[in-house]
């Protein structure tokens, strides 16, 4: 086993880094850890609940020290709060020790919450992102939730603007994120500017394997694949999803029963979910939201693989609760995506 380019002697726990699996993210050349750090839980009460700031800062630093070298965030997470917290945490970390992505979307978050209407608003918003993070550049800049913008706006405004950020050395690689996967494929085919990375979320989990259908498409184009929200944005946990979660009441109820079943068997559905997704082929890295070291350590332990008992319980859960022969998702559920859209548009720092 070899050390990744992000290894920094004297900072990293070398033993942990050697135990981490790293894979090159498409054609970017970035050698990313199999387990990645999702910063959405750093957004505060409006996203996934409150947290202890000092503990969260220590969690970020400990994650990197133990070999997690990719972090993803977005300005919509707590209206910049997640980025600001990361900025505090990363101030004590060598810049070469990690890769980081943040996003640009149609949602302005500089106070007015107006829709992004121009390149200038994209650039000013991104400058605030860099200021929040305390960085000169991010490794990947991503068009966030492309399904909420008209295709022509993504192609003719967002992507060219992000390409300019890359030319200005404020970002290095360009990506897309979305819940429905097909719009990303269409944008990739139509864009005159190459897309290097995609983030797909809640689409390669216990109840939905939709991402697997698209992996050959992305691989054929050398696009890096990031699998995010592998607990389904909290729906596959005993605590359950946040109030804004766009899933149907039926799916939420099924997942709650599955979580209770897992608890009766002496395991956590969240751990099973993370373990399941980590073993699926195709994606180079898997984003898991974290804001304390207990969660971090659980995920690092799960990275080593599920026990035979856990695998058996996971098979039982899939058979009992998700064996309908179809994928469960909320892509075309009337009203549910609007609920999530309003959350994105109105979220406030608590």
- Confirm if 303 and 35 have CB atoms less than 8 A apart: yes
Catalytic residue among 7, 51, 70, 77: 77
Q: Could you give the CA distance from residue 257 to residue 68 in angstroms, rounded to a whole number?
A: 32
What region, left, alpha or beta, does residue 35 occupy, with left being phi > 0 and alpha being psi -120 to 50 degrees? beta
- Report helix, strand or coil for 306: coil
- Confirm if 4 and 31 have CB atoms less than 8 A apart: yes
Q: Could you give the CA distance from residue 12 to residue 93 in angstroms, rounded to a whole number?
A: 10
End-to-end CA distance of the chain: 44
- Confirm if 238 and 259 have CB atoms less than 8 A apart: yes
Q: Which helix (H) or strand (E) holds 266?
A: none
Return the axis-axis angle of helices 119-133 and 159-167, rounded to nearest 10°: 50
Active site residue 77: yes
Which residues are CB-contacts of 118 (< 8 A; sequence separation ≥ 6)?
Answer: 157
Q: What is the 3-state secondary structure (H, E, C) of 162-207?
A: HHHHHHCCCEEEEEEEECCCHHHHHHHHHCCCCCCEEEEECCCECC
Instruction: Return the residue matching tokens 């917290």.
Output: 85
Q: Could you give the CA distance from residue 155 to residue 331 in angstroms, rounded to a whole number?
A: 22
Q: Could you give the CA distance from residue 237 to residue 181 in angstroms, rounded to a whole number?
A: 24
Residues labelled catalytic: 77
């Amino acid at each position: 086993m070899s050390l990744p380019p992000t290894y920094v002697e004297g900072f990293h726990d070398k033993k942990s880094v050697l135990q981490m699996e790293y894979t090159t993210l498409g054609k970017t050349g970035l050698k990313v850890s199999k387990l990645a750090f999702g910063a959405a839980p750093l957004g505060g009460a409006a996203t996934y609940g409150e947290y202890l700031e000092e503990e969260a800062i220590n969690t970020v630093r400990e994650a990197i020290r133990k070999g997690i070298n990719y972090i993803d965030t977005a300005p919509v997470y707590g209206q910049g709060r997640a980025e600001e917290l990361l900025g505090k945490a990363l101030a004590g970390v060598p810049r070469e020790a990690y890769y980081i992505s943040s996003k640009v979307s149609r949602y302005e978050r500089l106070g007015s919450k107006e829709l992004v209407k121009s390149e200038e608003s994209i650039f000013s918003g991104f400058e605030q992102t860099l200021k929040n993070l305390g960085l000169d550049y991010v490794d990947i800049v991503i068009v966030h939730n492309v399904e909420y913008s008209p295709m022509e706006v993504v192609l003719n405004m967002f992507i060219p603007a992000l390409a300019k950020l890359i030319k200005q050395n404020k970002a290095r690689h360009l990506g897309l994120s979305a819940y429905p996967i097909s719009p990303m494929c269409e944008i990739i085919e139509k864009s005159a500017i190459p897309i290097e990375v995609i983030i797909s979320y809640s689409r390669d989990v216990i109840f939905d394997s939709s991402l697997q259908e698209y992996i050959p498409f992305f691989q054929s184009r050398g696009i890096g694949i990031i699998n995010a929200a592998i607990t389904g944005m909290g729906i596959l946990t005993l605590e359950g999803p946040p109030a804004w979660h766009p899933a149907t009441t039926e799916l939420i109820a099924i997942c709650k029963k599955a979580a209770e079943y897992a608890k009766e068997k002496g395991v956590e559905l969240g751990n099973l979910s993370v373990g399941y997704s980590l073993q699926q082929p195709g994606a180079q890295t898997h984003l898991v939201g974290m804001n304390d070291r207990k969660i971090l350590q659980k995920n690092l332990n799960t990275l080593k693989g599920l026990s035979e008992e856990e695998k058996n319980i996971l098979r039982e859960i899939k058979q009992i609760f998700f064996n309908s022969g179809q994928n469960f998702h909320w892509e075309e559920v009337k009203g549910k995506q609007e609920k999530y859209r309003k959350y994105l548009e109105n979220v406030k720092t608590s």
